[in-house]
């Protein structure tokens, strides 16, 4: 009888200890999720049951991903590269199918913010679509089209979301610039020029102003972009640097150099540095800034084949990152305040 009581007492003790550990785990997980909450919603694509599909995470519930696309007979292929419309009403994405041999067919689809009312906007029978982005007024989706055929050039196009009419886009570039990255208000340009026989990229900062440098009195180099004149402010020779992204307030830009994140002000002066952004998780891709320009959305394992990327948000004030989800091509939407 005593052994029976001892046995029952031991079981009760183990149950209570186990419950206490479990309760601590739940609270700890809840604390982590509470800390990892963020404003707005993030959409991304990820490998899922033999295909690629688009998911969404609400910042208030960062542990609950919602699947927005499915693989069915009407919308076959992989659904990738989602992009929020400017007002957050629609989500555009690329549907990519592989035919016989190396034949690839890509088309642009659009759906409501909750995944409903999916419809196809383009009807290409071959070729690859990438780098889709919305026009500022949300009426068109701009994209790069690679026909993937001999004697056919890669071109920039735009499709109207209401009529489906496709037009060619001629994107104006400043003279002498390999690539131009303007701030949203187009007051400052970053001109990227890859020097011949060099691994270094030259990042030049140009300001839209018509006067000579007040400090030196010297006449600065001038370029023209969209009919307006810009004068050179500073040149930054940066080795192994990736394309910079502008903050939402147009006061600074971020760039990855090696494994580190470097932030410059609009005059090209370094103001912040976060080392080893991805730790042992390969290279990083910067995606976008938060609305208040205090956080940056980025992903690791960028460009690595057959490895799912990992998506993070970096808090620039604490210099700490927190994990969001496994996926690629994240895009972030938050209502303007």
Give me the tens of pLDDT residue by residue for the chain, a chain 337 residues long: 555 555 555 555 455 455 454 444 333 343 344 467 899 999 999 988 878 999 999 999 888 999 999 876 555 679 999 999 999 999 999 999 876 556 788 999 999 999 999 999 999 999 999 999 999 999 999 999 999 888 888 899 999 999 999 999 987 888 878 889 999 999 999 998 765 545 556 789 999 975 555 555 566 788 999 888 999 999 887 766 777 999 999 999 999 887 789 999 999 999 999 988 887 767 788 999 999 999 999 998 876 666 788 999 999 999 999 999 999 999 999 875 4
> To which residue do tokens 């307030």 refer?
249
> To which residue do tokens 């410059």 refer?
264
Domain ranges, ordered by start, for the chain: 69-171, 173-239, 241-337
Instruction: Tell me how far apart the alpha carbons of residues 276 and 295 are, in angstroms, rounded to a whole number.
Output: 17
In which element (H, E) is residue 91 found?
strand 90-98
**CATH 3.40.50.300 given to domain 69-171:** no
Cα–Cα–Cα angle for 43, 303, 50, rounded to 5 degrees: 60
Asked if residue 245 lies in contact with residue 286, where contact means CB atoms within 8 angstroms, the answer is yes
Give the tokens for residue 211: 């006067």
In which element (H, E) is residue 81 found?
strand 78-84
Is the full-model pTM beyond 0.95? no
Asked if residue 294 lies in contact with residue 316, where contact means CB atoms within 8 angstroms, the answer is yes
Over the range 207-241, which residues count as b (16 or more CB within 10 Å of their CB) and which as e?
bbeeeeeeeeeeeeeebebeeeebbbbeebebeeb
Asked if residue 87 lies in contact with residue 97, where contact means CB atoms within 8 angstroms, the answer is no
Per-residue CA distances from 302 to 110, 162, 285, 311 (Å): 25, 34, 6, 10
């Amino acid at each position: 009888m005593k052994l029976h009581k001892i046995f029952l007492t031991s079981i009760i003790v183990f149950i209570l200890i186990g419950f206490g550990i479990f309760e601590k785990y739940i609270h700890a997980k809840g604390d982590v999720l509470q800390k990892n909450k963020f404003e707005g919603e993030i959409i991304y694509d990820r490998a899922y049951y033999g295909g690629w599909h688009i998911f969404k995470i609400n910042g208030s519930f960062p542990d609950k991903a919602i699947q927005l696309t499915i693989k069915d007979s009407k919308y076959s292929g992989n659904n990738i590269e989602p992009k929020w419309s400017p007002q957050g009403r629609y989500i555009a994405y690329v549907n990519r199918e592989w035919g016989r041999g190396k034949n690839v067919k890509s088309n642009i689809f659009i759906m409501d913010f909750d995944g409903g009312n999916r419809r196809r906007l383009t009807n290409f029978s071959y070729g690859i679509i990438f780098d889709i982005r919305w026009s500022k007024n949300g009426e068109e989706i701009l994209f790069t089209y690679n026909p993937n055929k001999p004697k056919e050039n890669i071109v920039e196009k735009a499709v109207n979301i209401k009529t489906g009419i496709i037009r060619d886009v001629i994107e104006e570039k400043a003279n002498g610039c390999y690539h131009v990255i303007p701030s949203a208000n187009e007051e400052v340009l970053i001109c990227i020029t890859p020097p011949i026989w060099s691994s270094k990229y030259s990042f030049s900062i140009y300001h839209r102003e018509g006067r000579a440098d007040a400090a030196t009195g010297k006449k600065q180099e001038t370029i023209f972009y969209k009919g307006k004149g810009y004068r050179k402010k500073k040149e930054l020779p940066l080795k192994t640097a990736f394309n910079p992204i502008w903050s939402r307030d147009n006061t600074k830009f971020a760039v990855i150099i090696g494994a580190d994140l470097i932030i410059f002000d609009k005059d090209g002066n370094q103001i912040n540095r976060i080392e080893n952004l991805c730790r042992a998780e390969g290279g990083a891709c910067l995606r976008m800034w938060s609305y208040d320009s205090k956080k940056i959305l980025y992903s690791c394992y960028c460009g690595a084949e057959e490895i799912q990327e990992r998506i993070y948000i970096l808090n620039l004030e604490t210099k700490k990152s927190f994990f969001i989800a496994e996926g690629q091509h994240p895009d972030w939407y938050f209502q303007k305040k």
